[in-house]
Amino acid sequence: MSAPSTDAFADLSRLDAAARALHVQLTARDRNRFKQLGAMLVRENATMNLTAITDPAEVQTLHFADSLTVVPALDAYVRLIGGDVAMLSTVRVLDVGSGAGFPGLPLAIVRPRIAVTLLEATGKKVAFIRRVADDLGLDNVTALSGRAEEMAHHPTLREQMDIVLARAVARLPVLLEYCLPFVRLNGFVLAMKSGDLTDELRAGAHAAVELGGAIGPITPVPIPGLESHVLIRIDKTGETPAKYPRRPGIPTKRPLGI
């Protein structure tokens, strides 16, 4: 395959503005990697269903900038445990249901010392994430193929993650059954959400308690074009009972907390 053209992403002004608003500094290498990621996404999307968003300006806002909204919370966590975001870190982040790699890939680009694992059920999307990680030289990325309901019972993953992220995967009660079992005590889930969340939050609060968690602060996203977006933090306050997550499909069929 020929190298994808990065010309369509020559203008990164939307990404740059969002990064400034989030106090995330982008290096020249980061900006080149975003150009490569955008080019690969658009090119491979022509033969594979990766995303409905392909306009370069929209990719910057709705994929790149939206993904970076989790960075301030990650940096605050690293500082809280006495680390330095610029130094080698032992912090582990998991992105559940990554699709074409969002939010995990942008996060891995701007925080190359953080170990970012992306878990995705669809094999061809995992293959895309691996190609991106290889081509961009992101050696902090691991892409896993599988379902959260099964992977969360694996001893190398269960209660091993500092932070678990998810965007557009499931409603909160289902999402928490997927995500909270991976989180270590005093870590957290960051659910990237938008719209009216009243019902989700009510059911999610009950589900969280059952899974060893508690709903924490809800933070609005300070980026033009993402005004309705929020980050919901769910703190891991106790061990998740071994029976969770239930078998694949059961969390959706019989959501906790409803």
The residue within the footprint of ligand SAM, chosen from 107, 119, 179, 232 (CB under 6 A), is: 119
Sign of CA dihedral 159, 131, 44, 35: positive
We find the least distance from the C-beta atom of residue 8 to ligand SAM, in angstroms, to be 19
Residues 6+ apart with CB under 8 A from 67: 102, 103, 104, 105, 106, 107, 167
The residue within the footprint of ligand SAM, chosen from 30, 44, 75, 149 (CB under 6 A), is: 149
Determine if 102 is a binding residue for ligand SAM (CB under 6 A).
yes
Alpha helices, DSSP H only, in 100-249?
A: 104-110, 123-136, 148-151, 172-179, 198-210
Return the DSSP state at 113: T
Report the alpha-carbon distance of residue 113 to residue 7 in Å, rounded: 28
Smaller CB separation from ligand SAM, 120 or 200: 120
We find the least distance from the C-beta atom of residue 187 to ligand SAM, in angstroms, to be 19
For Cα atoms 44, 47, 50, give the angle at the middle one, nearest 5 degrees: 60
We find the least distance from the C-beta atom of residue 71 to ligand SAM, in angstroms, to be 16
Determine if 31 is a binding residue for ligand SAM (CB under 6 A).
no
The residue within the footprint of ligand SAM, chosen from 107, 110, 121, 211 (CB under 6 A), is: 121
Q: How many residues does the chain have?
A: 258
Contact predicate 245/148, CB 8 Å: yes
Residues 6+ apart with CB under 8 A from 249: 149
The residue within the footprint of ligand SAM, chosen from 4, 38, 56, 97 (CB under 6 A), is: 97
Q: Where are the beta strands (DSSP E) in 205-252?
A: 213-220, 229-236
The residue within the footprint of ligand SAM, chosen from 178, 182, 188, 244 (CB under 6 A), is: 178
Determine if 167 is a binding residue for ligand SAM (CB under 6 A).
yes
We find the least distance from the C-beta atom of residue 63 to ligand SAM, in angstroms, to be 7
Stretch that binds ligand SAM, among 27-35, 73-81, 94-102, 209-217 (CB under 6 A): 94-102
The residue within the footprint of ligand SAM, chosen from 30, 44, 75, 120 (CB under 6 A), is: 120
237 class by beta-carbon count within 10 Å (0-12 exposed, 13-18 middle, 19+ buried): middle
List interacting residues with ligand SAM (CB under 6 A): 97-99, 102, 119-122, 125, 147-149, 167-169, 178
